[in-house]
Amino acid sequence: MITDLNMTSNGYSLVLSIFYAGYLIFEVPSNMLLSRSQPRVYLPMLMVIWGGFQWCAKGITSVAGMAVFRFVLGLAEAGFYPGVMFLMSCWYKPHEGAVRMSIFYSATLVAGAFGGLLAGGIIESMDGLAGTHGWQWLFIIEGCVSVVLGVVGYFVLPNYPATTPWLTEHEKQLATRRILYAQAQEEGPSMGLKQAFKEALKDPKTWCFLLAYNFINPPCTITYFIPTLVETMNYEGRMAQFMAVPVYLVSLVFSITGGIIADRTRQKAAVIAASGVLSTFMFVFCAIVQNPKLKYVFLCFGGAGIWTALPVFLSWVVIMFDGREKRAIAIAWINGFGQLSSIYGAFFWPEKDAPRYATGFTITCSFTGFMVVMVIFTRWAFGDKGVWRTS
């Protein structure tokens, strides 16, 4: 793609980051719509829209075209991730969410582990077929998969506990009561969207979690550059793609384990902080160590820390807000502004810093360190009940 579009290093970073501009714009409105609609219709609809739009990659011939394509794709995808977070918060008790969020997030890690290998195979085998570049075929094929799974999602996804059509009345009552028992809100609207928007923005928790997420999310942009980083450790070509797999597999094990521990101990903030400390030390070592094999090991465990902290953090966010509408808006607001970090995070790893990438590792460990401080403060300030500490 870089060759075909005559793309520079900065152009590549722009194409990566502009996705999140569109993502930010539509995230809050999307969750406001979701709180008043049927999730089994709304979430699959988003998948079909972004999947169908990916077919437009066939017509991209310039960096500007790719930037516009990515921006609109961000608009289409904006509602899915916070929508899933919100829907899960309506079904699970506070101490059941972390491991489930980690399992959901594990799809990202599995995609990171094997997506590069799959992409390489598609690009190499289909390049030039029907006058279409291999990277265009990649977008088209992935778009087809999204459309198909979106259609399937309509038949398998639930709505809310009281409104899921394939549950019996007894099952609906049971699902609703167990959430009410955990002091969640009723499934019906508790306030208007305008009032919920005001309440979410007035709540100091919203801003503390938003700031903490802006420290957690920037290190995650390293995922776009892992194959590049691995190549600087004396692995080349297809071997670099293979050696990227263990980075994600180590993270997968840590992430699921961290989610289980967070739910069983009910100490989400402690798990997040411990994961942040692990990442901070590992990325410090990555910045100063010269031995390629040691650096690779530190990269594996550094990634494990950030990708353990992220899903547990999100499972913590969703239990700290009462009321369905307010919770939906707060989740989207926090996640949306957290994606701002992905815009500038894509510029942490300029090609001129190769092979050490000391600047990127230094910035990353700084963010994880500040994340630990912010998480500890938020836990101290609001405790388990989400009420501002007064003494």
The residue with tokens 């691995």 is 230
User: Is there a domain that residue 3 lies in?
Assistant: no
How would you class 157 by CB atoms within 10 Å of its CB: exposed for 0-12, middle for 13-18, buried for 19 or more?
middle
pLDDT of the residue at 181: 66
Task: Report the first-to-last Cα separation within the chain, whole angstroms.
Answer: 57
User: Is there a domain that residue 294 lies in?
Assistant: yes
Long-range CB pairs of 295-302 (<8 Å, 24+ gap) are 295/233, 296/230, 296/233, 296/243, 299/226, 299/229, 299/230, 299/247, 300/246, 300/247, 300/250, 300/251, 301/250, 302/278, 302/364
pLDDT tens column, 306-361: 999 999 999 999 888 877 788 888 888 898 887 777 777 767 877 788 778 888 89
Token output for 153: 């999602």
pLDDT of the residue at 187: 44
User: Is there a domain that residue 1 lies in?
Assistant: no
Q: CA 216 to CA 194: how far, in whole Å?
A: 29
User: Is there a domain that residue 278 lies in?
Assistant: yes
Token output for 243: 């050696």
Q: What is the chain's percent helix, strand, coil content, to nearest 5?
A: 80, 0, 20
The residue with tokens 């030039």 is 128
**Containing domain of residue 86, as a range?**
9-382
Q: CA 57 to CA 69: how far, in whole Å?
A: 7
Domain of 77, CATH number, reads 1.20.1250.20
Regions in the chain scoring below 70 on pLDDT: 181-191, 237-238, 346, 384-391
User: Is there a domain that residue 72 lies in?
Assistant: yes
Amino acid identity of residue 177, one-letter, is R
Domains of the chain: total: 1
User: Is there a domain that residue 389 lies in?
Assistant: no
CA angle 111-149-179, nearest 5°?
90
Long-range CB pairs of 145-150 (<8 Å, 24+ gap) are 145/51, 146/47, 146/48, 146/50, 146/51, 146/54, 147/47, 147/48, 147/51, 147/52, 148/51, 149/47, 150/44, 150/45, 150/46, 150/47, 150/48, 150/51
User: Is there a domain that residue 158 lies in?
Assistant: yes
**Nearest one of 75, 59, 88, 61 to 18, comparing CA atoms:** 75
pLDDT of the residue at 322: 77
User: Is there a domain that residue 207 lies in?
Assistant: yes
Phi-psi region of 128 (alpha: psi -120 to 50; beta: other; left: phi over 0): left
- The pTM of the full predicted model, rounded to 2 decimals, is 0.81
Q: CA 211 to CA 375: how far, in whole Å?
A: 9
pLDDT of the residue at 209: 94
The residue with tokens 């778009």 is 143
| Biggest alpha carbon–alpha carbon distance for the chain | 69
